[in-house]
């Protein structure tokens, strides 16, 4: 039977490792060159000596040169090569995940010792950073599990509350039709209706936070979405001496967004601005284009947000209002981020506050728009 010999395919010449000189050669070549030149000069200097004496002197010089080279090689091997091999091994162990690997020559009082001490310090810092990251990760996972459980409870509780609220609202309407218009009870019924609506809004925000709905993206006029939100908020602030101003971007093309959700975000921001103004003031809504992005600014002339609380306003359940739930801005931020956008805030205490909703105008590809805004 004929046998077949399999040979490994030869690698192209370009993939071969370049020639490398070992540290011994790099160290000894200049030394050997210097010794060789010294021997030549020594030979020239001993020309006047007799034959046997000259040979003896040259032999002793050659032996001395060899001994010098050998001593240098041994010394370098002990002083330099051994620490470098140890350092190479420890680096490999660290790259494999062992952050307890340290070198033993860190106590030396020379440059090699400095290198060892710096390496040990670096590994210690990496180890401490990893332990801190693991601790934070465990904390975040515990918090995420806690929030997930609370979300499920909140969603179930919200459903249970909304059903009786609907019944209470219906009963209030029936009683309102039976009570004479001049009766003082009409004012009480009005207050009850407002409280029922407020509870319903709180429960709705809680439910949307616990079980968010994905945005229904469509091409729509962002100017119209912003203007409708401002008009709706203006109706709720007729009794306040607040001036409203709206500036549209006439050159803005249709923007891919969920009009209902962005309307909800802008309405929340404008209502917050109205509530922040105590007495006369102004709220300005401005739509603009920033290259491939669209921006909606909501600016008020209120007291502004204190610097110590500015970083906490988007945290769920954080509120500075006595009657607020702390879910409005958290929900608004999540909605904007679901649109692959960004919600920014700037505030100067005593001069007002500006919230800016930034959205990509259109998708860059068919898969994702992430990364276009938040960088």
Q: Do residues 241 and 280 make contact, with C-beta atoms less than 8 angstroms apart?
A: yes
Tens of pLDDT along 64-88? 777 777 777 777 777 777 888 888 8
Helices and strands, counts by H and E, the chain: 9, 7
**Torsion angle of C-alpha atoms 305, 306, 312, 316, degrees rounded to 10:** -50
Amino acid 283: pLDDT: 93
CB atoms within 10 A of CB 185: 14
Tell me the C-alpha distance between 84 and 104, whole Å: 11
Tell me which residues of the chain have a pLDDT lower than 50: 1-15, 17, 365-375
Radius of gyration of the chain measured on its C-alpha atoms: 39
User: Bridge-partner residues for 347, per DSSP?
Assistant: 353
Of residues 108, 103, 99, 70, the one with CA closest to residue 89: 103
Model confidence over 127-175: pLDDT tens digits?
999 899 988 888 888 877 776 676 677 767 776 777 787 777 777 778 8
Beta-carbon count within 10 A of 266 CB: 25
Distance CA 173, CA 170 (A): 5
Instruction: Annotate 250-285 with three-state secondary structure.
Output: CCCCCEEECHHHHHHHHHHHHHHHHHHCCCCEEEEE
- CA–CA distance from 54 to each of 37, 40, 49, 62, 178 (Å)? 18, 13, 5, 12, 137
Supply the DSSP string of 103-159, one letter for each residue.
-SGGG-SSHHHHHHHHHHHHHHHHHHHHHHHHHHHHHHHHHHHHHHHHHHHHHHHHH
Question: In whole angstroms, what is the distance from residue 253 CA to residue 294 CA?
Answer: 9
What pTM value is reported for the model?
0.51
pLDDT recorded at residue 222: 95
Pairing mode of beta strands 242-247, 281-290: parallel
Pair 261, 215: CB distance under 8 Å: yes
């Amino acid at each position: 039977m004929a046998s077949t010999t399999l040979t490994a395919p030869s690698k192209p010449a370009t993939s071969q490792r370049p020639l490398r000189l070992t540290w011994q050669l790099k160290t000894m070549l200049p030394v050997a060159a210097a010794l060789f030149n010294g021997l030549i000069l020594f030979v020239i200097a001993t020309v006047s000596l007799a034959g046997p004496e000259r040979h003896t002197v040259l032999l002793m010089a050659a032996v001395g040169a060899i001994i010098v080279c050998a001593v240098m090689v041994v010394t370098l091997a002990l002083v330099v090569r051994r620490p470098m091999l140890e350092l190479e091994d420890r680096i490999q162990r660290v790259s494999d995940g062992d952050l307890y690997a340290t070198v033993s020559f860190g106590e030396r009082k020379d440059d090699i010792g400095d290198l060892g001490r710096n390496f040990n310090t670096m590994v210690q810092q990496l180890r401490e950073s990893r332990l801190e990251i693991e601790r934070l990760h465990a904390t975040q996972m515990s918090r995420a599990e806690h929030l997930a459980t609370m979300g499920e409870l909140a969603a179930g509780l919200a459903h249970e509350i909304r059903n009786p609220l609907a019944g209470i609202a219906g009963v209030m309407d029936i009683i309102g039709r039976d009570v004479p218009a001049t009766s003082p009870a009409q004012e009480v019924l009005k207050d009850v209706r407002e409280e029922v609506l407020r509870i319903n809004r709180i429960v709705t925000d809680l439910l949307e936070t616990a079980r968010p709905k994905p945005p229904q993206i469509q091409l729509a006029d962002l100017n119209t979405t912003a203007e409708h939100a401002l008009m709706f908020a203006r109706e709720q602030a007729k009794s306040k001496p607040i001036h409203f101003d709206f500036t549209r971007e006439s050159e803005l093309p249709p923007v891919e967004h969920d009009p209902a959700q962005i309307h909800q975000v802008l309405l929340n921001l404008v209502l917050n601005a109205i509530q922040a103004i105590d007495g006369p003031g102004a709220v300005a809504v401005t739509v603009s284009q920033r290259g491939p992005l669209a921006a909606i600014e909501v600016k008020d002339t209120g007291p502004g947000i204190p610097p110590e609380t500015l970083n906490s306003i988007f945290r769920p359940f954080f509120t500075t209002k006595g009657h607020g739930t702390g879910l409005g801005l958290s929900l608004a931020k999540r909605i904007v981020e679901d649109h692959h956008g960004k919600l920014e805030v700037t505030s100067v205490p005593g001069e007002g506050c500006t919230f800016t909703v930034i959205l990509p105008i259109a998708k860059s590809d068919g898969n994702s728009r992430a990364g276009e805004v938040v960088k």
